[in-house]
A = this chain, B = another copy of it.
Amino acid sequence: MKSVVIGASGYTGAELLRILAFHPDIEVILAAASSHAGQPISELFPSLFPHYGDMVFSDADRLINDLEDGIEHADIAFLALPHGVSQAIVPRLYDKVGLIVDLSADFRLRDPEAYPIWYKAAHASPFYLKKAVYGLPELTRSQLKGARLIAVAGCYVTCSTLPLFPLLSAGLIERDSIIIDAASGVSGAGRSLKSSYLFSEVDENYSVYGLKNHRHTPEIEQNLGSKVLFTPHLLPTNRGILATTYSRPTTKFQRAIAAVSDPEMFGSDLILSELAKSYREESFVFATASPPSIKATLGSNNALVFGTYDQRTNTVITVSALDNLVKGASGQAVQCANIALGLPETTGLGLLGLYP
């Protein structure tokens, strides 16, 4: 199958190119960008040279305006664009391309009313919003089969949802008062040219951002059916997200551990085994016996989840990790596309992470 990547000059675009280079069933026929049209891909991303050779970025604006330049030959369009841009493009692309995989937040929130609140603008194409399937395969796999428009889940969202969803579903933790304290490497901000992402500002630094109003909050809440307090931090690393979450055990949980000799150990095992059970059949999500680190996921499509119970403070804690550019974005996009297209879900995604 033939694909185009629109927004290929950002880091998630480059990561799509990296992954698709070895996808046996999806070929990249065109990589379009707004700001680097005509420039060889390998000038911006020298690591891609061995596969993409002299291929240059197409002009994304012209591509979208004229829907020419080869897009008529594409079966799949991956959109790796800034938030807000996909809303305008999808209506024009929808009838031309069999499958649109959008990596932005533009089609993630089901409620159009949420956009003015969190994104400060009304949604431009509520008609297509209804058609979009949310792309977090471990939760929405069945809907993804045959989907025509996929809204790939956000990076923090995936990392936070994976440990919490099964615990909520099993009735082990309370639906309110969930706190998510997370940290991400800088590539999560893309290649934005802001002074706060300069090396000298980030290196040897660590800070909170988006306090109280980060846009991934409503998406996590939508997945969990729960109110959450989400606080992201900026790590001095290229990649990686770690989420540490705190929640209250339910009465059901507390009753389960009430009579045992070591409630802390028993409760922790309850949590861990629920996670293990939930992801036993999954190819990319693994329950680990100790808290994972981001380095364990670097460059791979894997997410690692861990949970435990703290009796002293009567709190359930989870720790989860993934690579924001892979399972948090481009790897998950390909995983979703595989499902939609009826391919084996792991096709082209059998990458092991780098270590160190």
Once the chains bind, are B354 and A298 in contact (CB under 8 Å)? yes
CA distance A228 to B312 in the complex (A): 9
Q: In the complex, which residue of chain B has the Cβ closest to the Cβ of A21?
A: B352
Q: Which residues of B contact A288 (CB under 8 A)?
A: 46, 49
A72 to nearest B CB, angstroms?
A: 28
CA distance A128 to B319 in the complex (A): 40
**Given B183, B194, B296, which contacts A49 in the complex, CB threshold below 8 Å?**
B296
CA distance A122 to B340 in the complex (A): 62
A236 near B: Cβ within 8 Å?
Answer: yes
A223 near B: Cβ within 8 Å?
Answer: no
A256 near B: Cβ within 8 Å?
Answer: no
**Given B186, B205, B229, B304, which contacts A310 in the complex, CB threshold below 8 Å?**
B229
Most B C-beta atoms less than 10 A away, residue of A18, A48, A200, A308: A200
Once the chains bind, are B206 and A198 in contact (CB under 8 Å)? no
Once the chains bind, are A22 and B199 in contact (CB under 8 Å)? no
**Given B11, B203, B300, which contacts A238 in the complex, CB threshold below 8 Å?**
B203
A87 to nearest B CB, angstroms?
A: 25
Once the chains bind, are B233 and A246 in contact (CB under 8 Å)? no
With A21-B352, A228-B313: A295-B205 Cβ-Cβ less than 8 Å: yes
Among A77-85, A162-170, A207-215, the stretch in contact with B = A207-215
Most B C-beta atoms less than 10 A away, residue of A183, A198, A319: A198
A66 to nearest B CB, angstroms?
A: 28
Question: What 5 pairs across the A-B complex have the smallest Cβ distances?
Answer: A46-B296, A207-B293, A47-B353, A200-B356, A205-B295
Given contacts A48-B355, A177-B313, A204-B295, 7 further A-B contacts (CB under 8 A): A46-B292, A47-B295, A48-B352, A203-B204, A204-B239, A204-B356, A235-B236
